[in-house]
Amino acid sequence: MTSIENHPEKNIIRVQLRQNNVLKGMSAASHEELEQHLTVVDCNKGDFLLHQGVHEMEQYFILDGVLKRVVANAQGKEMILRFAAEREMETSYAAWSLKTPTPYSIVSVTKARVVKLPLPEWIAFIDRHPEEKRLFEYCVMNLMSEIMAHTITLHLLDAPGRVHRFLRKHPELFDRIPKKELAAYMNLSAETLSRLKQRGKI
């Protein structure tokens, strides 16, 4: 981990940050203020950024690559709640607000680069910037709504329907996510996903 100022690709990172869906409306002064709190993290596939069940939380802005939000039970069975890619964010803001442990892990699906800061520092920052707080909280609610819609989809749609919904909602991610992960997200086996593709159903 390193600060943006000390990173050899700092100019690229600053451009990518200004393209982030949550941060792109901020002033140059606000970006400079936020940058003082950020560190750059390069992730390999399978790296954990956040572990389920912890109280120490962080805010993440994705510069490159794909992350997943995943929940596991005591037996190790996992459910992928969402994928997120560049220009998006990941957070455990709801758990922090409720003073509960993180209900999920955040894991790198591909090689990825993120910038992060401790969640209390992010909260303090948006408290000083009400418009940014409004946008951030809207994004959090939108993510929760998407996850709820996805969960409902798993119960109401058949296998081809789930795949078609993903292709409609996230066409840019279909070829970037390993098929095993993609199948797990849709509660399918990798074999079923492959069979649907072979039969021309997707």
Residue 78 lies in a domain: yes
Count CA atoms within 13 Å of residue 158 on its CB side: 4
**What confidence score (pLDDT) does residue 100 get?**
97
| pTM of the model as a whole | 0.95
Specify the pLDDT at position 120: 98
Q: What is the CATH number of the domain that holds 80?
A: 2.60.120.10
3-state SS class at 192: helix
pLDDT one-digit tens code per residue, 150-165? 999 999 999 999 999 9
In a domain, 151, yes or no: no
Closest CA to 117 of 58, 62, 61: 58
Would you say 39 and 2 are in contact if contact means Cβ atoms under 8 Å apart?
yes
According to DSSP, residue 86 is labeled T
Mean pLDDT of the 86-92 span: 98
- In terms of residue numbers, what domain contains 119? 2-129
> How far is it, in rounded angstroms, from Cα 95 to Cα 100?
5
Q: What is the DSSP letter of 155?
A: H
- Does a structural domain hold residue 175? no
Question: How many domains is the chain built from?
Answer: 1
Q: Note whether residue 11 is domain-resident.
A: yes
In a domain, 17, yes or no: yes
Encode pLDDT of 11-29 as tens digits.
999 999 999 999 999 999 9
**167 near 174, Cβ under 8 Å?**
yes
**98 part of a folded domain:** yes
DSSP state of 5: T
Cβ neighbour number for residue 200 with a 10 Å cutoff: 6
The verdict on residue 181 lying in a domain is no
Q: 116: helix, coil or strand? A: strand
